[in-house]
Structure 1
Amino acid sequence: MSINHIVIPLDSAVLDSKEQYVFYHKMVDFALKELIVSAQQNQICTQKEIVFFKQYCDLLLYSIEAMRVKYMYDAEDNMKVDLTDSGFPNYLEFRYLFNDLSLRDNYINKLKDVNELQDEFLDQILRKKEPVSKYKLFQAASIVYYTSVEQKFIFNRFVQGKIIEVPKGMSSQYMTSWSFYDVANNRPYVCFMYFDYEGKYIDSYKDEIYEVLKNNADRDMSLDTMAYGIDRKLPDVKPKHIKRIDLGPFHNVFAKDENEITHSILESIAKKEIPLESYALSLKVDEVFSGSEFTEGGYFSKQTLQKWSDTVNQNYVFAPHRIIQLLYSKTPEIMNKLAKPPIQISELKIDNI
């Protein structure tokens, strides 16, 4: 494990009540679904890319919902939301969830019988007319969690997509996608690579491509460095275009970072100028394109590599109308440097907060 993979559970906000878990999950679920629709409408992703982008977001939402069920009535452990520059769960939460589900069969054998637990619930509510204890609610939540959550759908540190052929007429033959959760900044990334293949049968080379991507494109780094690493280690692959989407920060009441957008929203929530469920979502798209080629290596180990363009950076902000007005007032420099004016998405309304 490299130093880039070392994680500590500091700089995290702890969710410690049922209400907070429900509230946080509703916010993330709502914001990501709004983002998927808006990304397509504003052509931030192509039709093909948006399909994979949605799938990765679905894995993220599935994992956060699993955390909600797991932790809601747990008196010993609490879910942690990153405070540094993310607003999403700390990476360790995903790792704990994945490892915990590896022992799923052991836990299922120790769970209380469902019928017995139901009888206890009814006896407590109908005969004794008392609320069900938190411990029994935790037992019920554990049954739901261990019998319904599947490990294969948990958002892992690296998630590989398939290699597919691109439509005829495009400048490359194939496209693949992958996603990773950066362990340093606790944010999800989605990547796309368009490339040509100079070998005979790509099916026999897919595993090698997947392995190189997993080992060389699984963290936040300079995009041209990532492109060069992929190109150098896959001599039969000619990358033409690499696109990386940095999803976040998610600016909300749980994120107490130094980001100016987050700070503006928190300040306005504190002054009761905007409701508690106010949010905004930043998104950054980086792209590099191959141009000419150059040769690297000695006489016996020459390899033709791509020369890459400067990285094209595009920043976006998605927010409800009221928040957009607020951000133009408090952070005009940031708003004026976006690739597009802030993109309006729906306002979230949560009753009985």
Structure 2
Amino acid sequence: MTLSVTLRHRFAGLTLDVAFQAPPGVTALFGRSGAGKTTVVNAVAGLLRPEAGRIVAGDVVLLDTAARINLPPHRRRVGYVFQDARLFPHLTVGQNLLYGRWFAPRGPGPALERIVDLLGLGALLSRQPGALSGGERSRVALGRAILSNPRILLMDEPLAALDEARKAEILPYLERLRDEVALPILYVSHSMAEVARLATTLVLIEAGQVTAAGPAATLLADPAAAPALGLREAGAILTARVAAQEPDGLTRLETAAGPLWLPRVAAAPGTTLRLRILAQDVMLATTRPEGISALNILPAVVQELRLGDGPGALVQLDAGGERILARITRRSAAALNLAPGSPVFAVLKAVSVAQENVGSGA
């Protein structure tokens, strides 16, 4: 099922005017604070009536201002996970989960046992919310939302209140949700690390306008989108398969671009991973380097060269059909005589890819 959103609404100092499609998977709404991301999610949930718009989930019209259709929130079948978990403190974890099921429409829905297993909640069912960690509370809130059997799942900065350790705990569960639950998921975030790890579709919103939208892997590797994403956060996603765990503590990965070695990744051989490769961590050479410590040297071809207003440049590379970004200086680009079609080698140190940039799924 696809979610189609077209909205227009005026606020003091901001006019929200957006249109995009959210297919099954995670559609991340990314932009600065105040860009209008939460407003979009609230309009989909029915918590805000826009001045004009149309929202359609599959073949069900949730909102059409021209036709005077505006389903109330309780009839939209929307699961909403807020930044804070908002669990009922007087109910156990199991009772909180069943509260979501209470409001589910009649008919088949997700099985309680499956969601408990998917989110790793089995050992928590008899506990009270006050005895849970932040990550555990987030997982319970997510389970409760799924068990309401929604058409759409909305997540508004669900990890923003968590420390890095709790984020690392819950991200694998969100990846499993993305890969195993066939729902359109709108995910609001201003964390590029989260977006790169989770998103299948990306919508960039700036000052109430959609500046770009499309497959996440395509946009993240697009030099034109880098200013909106943040130059320090610019980077591409590679799909990799764990080939072997080496005896010296490295993991050998197979990619379309070539073999990669990273510090030990806790995954079995054959596991498919998503790797976020930051543009600032990629060096370029016109001949294959020798006598260097970097283990990862990938042959590539320059696809696009984008010069910045300052001393920097972004280079998009084609490496075996995968897209890689490199952030270098204009001086280096000139010295290497780079242009579309130039053959190069992308050099990446094994330790450059942080564990937070290694996720599961294609």
Larger Rg: 1
Return the TM-score normalized by structure 1: 0.28
Structure with higher helix content: 1
Return the TM-score normalized by structure 2: 0.28
Structure with higher strand content: 2
